[in-house]
């Protein structure tokens, strides 16, 4: 599967990602805080904290026409902490952060250790991930902004892997810049947040 996107399309995607990355967390935080303060008086909404088990799959590709096809599938497992609001009138806003591991099921696997944070409002989500990929002979740190559909039960996002140090020395991940992620989020624990928490 070769994914190819023109330079103009990539510039447009970068602009949309940056705009959404700067605004969505603020909107989610404002919605969580306003609902927990104004609606708690009528007991309609309640701010909650959730711990979620994340299980997912990532599809990696390359946006560069001159490079060989990259068709990599990485499984993902991890844990997220979420802040949200229980309210039946509309989709819940979410602020989340967590740690996870991406890995291949093959003889010489690539493993990615990931720290991520994301927010969603009305199921529109954006996030930022820091991933260190290694095969234990070489390594590469990538920063991945992502945008897509996200909420408490799942997230489906598309991201762009921005290379940092070690990119040229780790050829297996050098041109793996596009990534699609599907993650199912299973509740491990849920508790109400008290004021001041």
Give the tens place of pLDDT for each residue, 127-171.
999 999 988 888 889 999 999 998 888 899 999 988 887 777 777
Handedness of CA 127, 158, 148, 86 (dihedral sign): negative
CA 38 from chain centre, in angstroms, equals 30
| Residue 82 falls inside a structural domain | yes
Quickly count: other Cβ atoms within 10 Å of residue 196's Cβ. Answer: 4
Q: Which range marks the domain in which residue 88 is found? A: 7-192
- Please indicate, yes or no, if residue 171 is contained in any of the structural domains: yes
Q: Is 31 exposed, middle or buried (0-12, 13-18, 19+ CB in 10 A)?
A: buried
In a domain, 174, yes or no: yes
Instruction: Tell me the CATH number at 58.
Output: 2.40.160
- So what's the pLDDT on residue 165? 77
Q: What is the pTM of this model?
A: 0.71
Contacts of 119 (CB under 8 A, 6+ apart): 24, 25, 27, 28, 29, 93, 94, 95, 96, 125, 126, 127
36 in a structural domain: yes
At residue 143, the pLDDT reads: 93
Q: Does residue 85 sit within a domain?
A: yes
Which residue ranges in the chain fall short of pLDDT 70?
Answer: 1-45, 64-69, 87-91, 194-197
What is the structure's pLDDT at 184? 94
Backbone angles phi, psi at 174, to 5 degrees: -60, -45
**Residue 62 domain-assigned?**
yes
Residue 2 counted as domain residue:
no
Query: How many domains does the chain contain in total?
Result: 1
Q: Is residue 1 part of a domain?
A: no
């Amino acid at each position: 599967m070769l994914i190819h996107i023109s330079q103009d399309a990539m510039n447009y995607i970068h602009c949309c990602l940056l705009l959404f990355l700067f605004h969505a967390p603020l909107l989610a935080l404002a919605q969580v805080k306003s609902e927990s303060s104004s609606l708690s008086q009528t007991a309609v909404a309640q701010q909650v904290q959730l711990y979620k088990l994340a299980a997912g799959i990532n599809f990696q590709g390359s946006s560069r026409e001159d490079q060989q096809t990259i068709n990599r599938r990485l499984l993902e497992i991890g844990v997220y902490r979420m802040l949200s609001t229980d309210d039946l009138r509309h989709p819940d806003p979410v602020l989340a952060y967590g740690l996870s591991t991406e890995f291949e099921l093959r003889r010489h696997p690539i493993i990615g250790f990931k720290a991520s944070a994301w927010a969603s409002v009305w199921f529109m989500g954006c996030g930022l991930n820091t991933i260190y990929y290694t095969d234990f002979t070489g390594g590469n740190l990538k920063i991945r902004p992502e945008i897509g559909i996200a909420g408490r039960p799942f997230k489906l996002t598309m991201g762009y892997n921005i290379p940092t140090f070690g990119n040229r020395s780790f050829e297996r991940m050098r041109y793996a810049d596009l990534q699609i992620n599907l993650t199912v989020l299973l509740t491990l624990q849920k508790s109400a947040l008290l004021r001041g928490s």
